[in-house]
Structure 1
Amino acid sequence: GGGRGDNKGGEGGGRGGGARSPASPMTSEAEREQALRDYKVTIEYKHLKQHAPGGVYLVPSLTDLRLFHGVVFVRRGPFTNGVFKFRVSLPPRYNDFNAHPSIHFGSYVYNPHVDPETGELDVKGAYPTWDPHRHYLVTVLTYLKKIFYMKTFGTDEPVANPEARELVRRDPKEYRRRVEACVRESQRSVFVNEEGCTAEFHEDRVCHQILRELMKERLKDPATMTRAQILEMVGEAKAEDERDGGGDGTEEG
């Protein structure tokens, strides 16, 4: 699109009598390289649909190709039942060497690999050299999940939260207490959605409960259920909710 616009501008200049000024080869090459980087981001995200680690979900921003919102559900270990929302930011030159992605958690995470002040995951600590031929979005999401299941932490390498690592060694019970506190905080804040966040959670409403009951009652064989039948049940649930005064005056999809 950008290339076609440049050519038209050049031709217009020629018709007006001025000398034609083609786009700089350096500019064109830079634009092509950036377009290739952008394309690789979309390929990586498509790859995640089949290969994302279990319990980790990522949704692209509606306004920024290099911004994603996600959530990880922790199913066992010290962080069991944690629901940690996060965002992934990719630098403009992502898919170049040492162009690390950055990950920030939305709620407090007490973990040696998470900065206690900023909530940033220590990606560079895990991958000092980011190699685009070996490291991808799935790589960093796998690491993100892994930190919630680690039982031991090395003593030599630097970490984002040295106090947490020291507490693991010196007072495991106190470490566990702080971890459980941050799990509870993650559950309390799950319905707090940042502006522009695409990984949103909303509290259950009466119409959702009604819909579940209707589906259990009528959904004998999921293979035979049509889209029209599902939409009909959604309409019934909304109507019953409004009759019972459960509606809030807004429509939800």
Structure 2
Amino acid sequence: MYGSASPVKGLHNQNGNFQRTGSIRKVIPSDTSKEIISEKQNETVDKLYKTYRQEYVILAEYEMVQLENITGVYVIPSKESSVVWFGVIFVRSGFYEDGVFRFTILLNEEFPDAGHPKVIFHSHIFHPVIEAQSRELYLLKAFPKWNKAEQHLWQVLKYIQWIFYNVECSIEHTINEEAAEMFKNDLAQFKSKCLESVKSASEHLYDLPPTEDPHYITFEPYDPEVHDKVRESMLTVKESKPSKRGLSWVLPGSYKPLTRPATPPSESEL
């Protein structure tokens, strides 16, 4: 009427006493579920930290671009991805005069802890520093090593501006040997090629955008009924009082937070 006990391995020693050599205790595995959850939480937190940090750095980079106010160059980050920037340059003189060239800046997913950004022009441009097939701007001569503490995106935009106005100097950075040799040996033919680049970009200026991203830079033919009012408002200078609110931002060229002193009161308020 009693339940039988589980057998226990054993043997008798020389004194006849029973000596256990086994155990009825089961080895209970450790609870790894908490460890797995903890690891996943750490991964999530780490991913969020990297994302927020990257967004902050990119925002700071964009602010520095605005502070530099690079003539004729305009950029805006994509709405869909902050590591994609849409840009356009208006060339006002030189070999590429009247050229309107769109480009895209592609940042590495690990930016700013990775290598060079990429600059891809949307139309073919005959230039010593622009690769003929890929339309990619060659950056390795201007920025041999991308150092996040020293290099910034506004410098890349300055370089884009510089190559169109300083073709002769840019030959030292050549990636397109045909363009470089033609500039040296047949300047008239080189000018003709530049005009072709300007014309080609102009012919596609009003093309439908290749993406649905609302931040993609588009152009429309001038319509007096629509654009005259906008033009008039842009030319009208309105007097506005300076803001008395300070701004919390970063020092130009760095990521160090600071608080700008409040705007001094106007003379009427003294």
- Provide TM-score, normalisation by structure 1: 0.71
| Stretch deviating more after TM superposition (199-208 or 136-145) | 199-208
After superposition, residues 114-125 of structure 1 pair within 5 angstroms as 114-125=130-141
Match of 2:225 in 1: 207
Q: Which residue of 2 aligns with 1:73?
A: 90
Give the equivalent residue in structure 2 for 1:55.
Answer: 72
Instruction: Report the residue type matching 2:161 in the other structure.
Output: K
Q: Which amino acid aligns with 1:176?
A: K
Distance 1:118 1:29 in 2: 36
1:249: which partner in 2?
A: none
2:179 corresponds to 1:164 = yes
SS of the residue corresponding to residue 57 of structure 2 reads helix
Identity of aligned residues (%): 22
The 1:29/1:221 distance shift into structure 2, 3 A limit, reads: closer
Q: How many residues align?
A: 204
Mapped to 2, the partners of 1:176 and 1:124 lie a distance apart of: 26
Q: Note if contact 2:142-2:173 (Cα within 8 Å) is conserved in structure 1.
A: no
Cα deviation per residue 1:105-145 (whole Å; 9 max; x = unaligned)? 11111100001111110122321200111111101101111
The code of the aligned residue for 1:207 comes to E
Q: Could you tell me which residue of structure 2 aligns to residue 43 of structure 1? A: 60
Residues 52, 141 of structure 1: 8 Å contact kept: no
CA RMSD of the aligned region, Å?
A: 3.0
**Unaligned 5+ runs, structure 1:** 1-17, 225-253
Counterpart-to-counterpart distance in 1, 2:72 and 2:235: 28
1:1-253 equivalences in 2 (<5 Å): 19=34, 21-23=37-39, 27=43, 28-29=45-46, 31-96=48-113, 99-153=115-169, 159-192=174-207, 193-195=209-211, 196=213, 198-208=216-226, 211=229, 215=232, 222-223=237-238
Structure whose CA Rg is larger: 2
SS at match of 1:152: helix
Aligned partners of 1:69 and 1:88 also within 8 Å: yes
Q: Whose helix proportion is higher, 1 or 2?
A: 1
* Letter aligned with residue 32 of structure 1: Y
Structure 2 length-normalised TM:
0.67
Deviations 1:188-219 (A, max 9, x none): 22112322362111112242266379x49xx9
Structure 1 residue 29, shift from structure 2 partner: 4.3
Separation of aligned partners in 2, 1:121 and 1:135: 16
Q: What residue number does 1:15 align with?
A: none
* Contact kept in structure 2, 1:34 and 1:93, CA below 8 Å: no
Q: 1:209–1:72: structure 2 CA closer, same or farther, 3 Å change rule? A: closer
Look up the match of 1:231.
Answer: none
Match of 1:229 in 2: none
